[in-house]
Amino acid sequence: MLEDTSFAIHPGKKANIAETPYHDIGNVKNVTETRRGYQVECEHGYVTVQLYRDDIIRITMNSVEIPSCDSTPAVYAQKQEVNSSINEEEEHITITSSALKAVVHKSPFRLSILDADGQEVVSEQDRGMGYHETGEVICYKQMNQQDRFYGFGEKSGFLDKHGERYTMWNTDVYAPHNQETDPLYQSIPYFMTLRNGRAHGIFFDNSYKSTFDMKSEPDYYSFKAEGGELDYYVFVGPTPKKVLEQYTHITGRMTIPPKWAIGYHQSRYSYESEKEVREIAKTFLDKDIPLDVIYLDIHYMDEYRVFTFNKDQFPNPKQMISDLKDIGIRVVPIVDPGVKKDPEYKTYQEGIREDHFCKYIEGDLYTGEVWPGESAFPDFTDEPTRKWWANKHKYYADLGIEGIWNDMNEPAVFNETKTMDTTVMHKNDGKPATHRALHNLYGLQMGKATFEGMKQHLNGKRSFLLTRAGFAGVQRYASVWTGDNRSFWEHLQMSLPMCMNLGISGVPFTGPDVGGFAHDTNGELLTRWTQVGAFTPYFRNHSAIGTLYQEPWQFGEEYEAIIKKYIQLRYQWLPQHYMLFQNAHETGLPVMRPLFLEYPEDKKTYNLNDQFMIGDNVVIAPIMQPDVTDRAVYLPKGNWIDYFTGEQYEGSSSHLIHAELDTLPIFVKQGTFITHSPSRQSTMVEQEELYVHVYAGQEGTYESYVYEDDGETYQYEQSNSLKLPIQVECHPTRVDVSIGEKEGTFKPAYASLSFRFHGLKNQQEVYMNGERKELQHSEVELELF
């Protein structure tokens, strides 16, 4: 308690932290080439160097024995066969592939890695790898003052993390969420460094509590973990996009979400009865506000028992779910890991009988307090338990449910430590380890079980999973929302760099609770937040018990009309968003991007926190303060068109932009195109048209594509999809649009594309596939099939 008062800084409390001594790995004694990689024996330990791919190198250190090189489940890619050579000299050893060179200095072991152009990406001098008596492992790298750091998953604070220190330990933090709140729910021990416009990255594959320190020393940064092997991958870039490709090669990419999952979602902790849920759905329909999902928070259950419904409040869930689906709305229930300790409850009985719950080494069951009271926790680290849990999702699938919301999976426990006892012993697929070692993997493994379970029961349909906790690789199974924020303008502001850094950490499908979860929102905040939400990858309005209700109509007609306009705008932009999600699936690039990802040469973008990009050609610059209707917007190289007014702005400079409450400043890059469809009540309404909006410029070429598939099955994996490349080439006298070769067999509901041209100059003529076209009201139709 007293820690919340000035007592926290009492002079008598000055820390007396005697750092345990750091032991350097020491001099190299010998190097051998083995099937696994290069094995380096040092005075005080062993290092394995593996060329994982020609542009990815993996270093693993163990101070006691030859490294096991056991990866966490974050790692998805196998090591490739890489052509490499080794050259040993008196003072150093050089390992070379076609894309990088690793130089190991022998006395003592110090590593430098150079990229294909011979540029040094990481280096060590005074210090390198080492360990502490406590079992902690640590790695230092030289840092330049101009280095910028991005990634680290879900962190508060600004976009650039130079000068920060972060801990990875999945934590349920209800409050506060501010600049110094760390850690939060997710642990993604990965970052990217931008140095003089070039990028490289490091993924520290260790699930113990870890710390990344870009703050304590001017010339070095470090990463360390409480235990395990020092196991890390270096991605040599050289562009930020290439680093993301390399990182997501290792940890995997998202599957294409079902289209309904990228529509608008409405949630509340909780809609407490079937009647209330039906009323909410009806109000959306009556008011003609698009909606794809309604969430059921913990009150749908029988005293918070997972895999049950409360029969009084939800007498016929199957009928309710089916009726809602008839009007285009899906239902997503929350599923927490805690299983109520109740000998008369089936899931608890099964878990005990089949030995699925976490236990201490001596065999005693671990229980902790969560919503249902005293609860047991499935040991998701073990395959039979994941299978059991996966199978249990037949219950939801049989009710017509296609999406699940995993919460409290840090795991959160209502006690002083906020989580499970770290001495609990997990089975861990035959390699038992304590919760201290595996804590950060609990959410990821629950996500894997849930995702695979739903997939198994949905007969070829895609499922949707939302998770609060996770680890590197979480993108393979789930989308991530940023937990319990508040209805504060500051939290709207913070959500931008947080989601952008999640995207840089390989997680494209993210978003905060729109309107704010705790605290009371108001009309203006909800309106401005919904404008942003229309462009964040995940778009859900959610609020907490005891706060003002915040559905779109709760604050009067003026706000409702604007909120509706932006939810509809989301649906108009869906073809563009969907293409970007498919692109994320294919390349690992995020949907919502910090500007530096597209403009790594432009220093002005390096810490731009209050703007973001959608794909490579749209800048969103929201208003995120009350009573403000003007803001500075930085536009990078090129010319930019105001989406609503058509006004042109010059890039590489800042502009003062006026935006009344009904306006979200959106800028499209001249010379590019975006795709739209008419708004619709839900994605279940057929999309019958596709508009390609071309923003004509005076010079330059732009390429992108239209992407479609059935939006709900995995048939896209069998090429039942449509990828239509489109190139726009602008000249002072003509704009050439060329449609490339169609890929895939999918036929959308529309048979033609409507091209609409913006900003054509008088003398500019339009050519489609080399043929001159007369435009009708700036439009021209192109047959597709």
Which one of 410, 598, 610, 708 is the catalytic residue? 410
Amino acid at 670: Q
Dihedral angle over CA of 519, 521, 522, 528, nearest 10: 140
Catalytic: 407?
yes
Give whichever of 46 and 300 is closer to ligand GLC, judged by the CB atom: 300
Where are the extended beta strands (E) located within 54-189? 56-62, 85-88, 92-96, 100-105, 110-115, 120-122, 129-132, 137-142, 148-151, 165-168, 186-187
Of 547 and 583, nearer to ligand GLC (C-beta) is 547
Report the nearest approach of ligand GLC to the CB of residue 83 (Å): 49
Residue with tokens 């208003």: 623
Alpha-carbon 774 to chain mean position:
44
Candidate list 115, 124, 172, 484, residue with the active-site label: 484
CB of 193 to ligand GLC, least distance (A): 32
| 741 labelled catalytic | no
Q: With respect to ligand GLC, which residue has the nearer C-beta, 328 or 403?
A: 403
Q: Are 290 and 565 in contact (CB under 8 A)?
A: no
Closer CB to ligand GLC, residue 360 or residue 488? 488
Cβ of residue 777: shortest distance to ligand GLC, in angstroms?
A: 47
Please check whether residue 59 is in contact with residue 46, taking contact to mean a CB–CB distance below 8 angstroms. Answer: no
Minimum CB–partner distance for residue 566 and ligand GLC (Å): 22
Q: Report yes or no: 604 and 512 within 8 Å, Cβ to Cβ.
A: no
Q: Give the shortest CB-167-to-ligand GLC separation in angstroms.
A: 20
Least distance between ligand GLC and beta carbon 517 (Å): 6
CB of 457 to ligand GLC, least distance (A): 23
| Residue 547 DSSP SS3 | coil
Q: What is the phi/psi pair of residue 580, to 5°?
A: -70, -35
Of 171 and 582, the one with the shorter C-beta distance to ligand GLC is 171
Q: Which two tokens stand for residue 480?
A: 């991530």
Residue nearest ligand GLC, Cβ-based: 269
DSSP letters for 362-403? TSPBPEEEETTEEEE-B-TTSHHHHHHHHHHTHHHHHTT--E
Q: Active-site residue 326, yes or no?
A: no
Q: Report the C-alpha gap between 494 and 682 in whole angstroms.
A: 29
For ligand GLC, the closer of residues 122 and 334 by Cβ is 334
CA 576 to chain centre: 19
- Set 407, 551, 642, 708: catalytic member: 407
Q: Report whether 296 contacts 325 (CB < 8 A).
A: no
CB of 422 vs ligand GLC, minimal distance in Å = 22
What tokens does 301 get? 């259950």
Q: Helices 574-587 and 557-572, interaxial angle, to 10°?
A: 50
| Closer of 447 and 600 to ligand GLC (Cβ) | 447
Strands 339-340 and 691-695: unpaired
Residue 573 DSSP label: T
Dihedral sign computed on CA atoms, order 646, 651, 655, 660: positive
Q: Which of 254, 241, 247, 103 is nearest to 594 (CA)?
A: 241
Residues binding ligand GLC (CB under 6 A) = 269, 297-298, 334, 407, 468, 483-484, 517, 542
Query: 226 or 297, CB closer to ligand GLC?
Result: 297
Residues involved in catalysis: 407, 410, 484
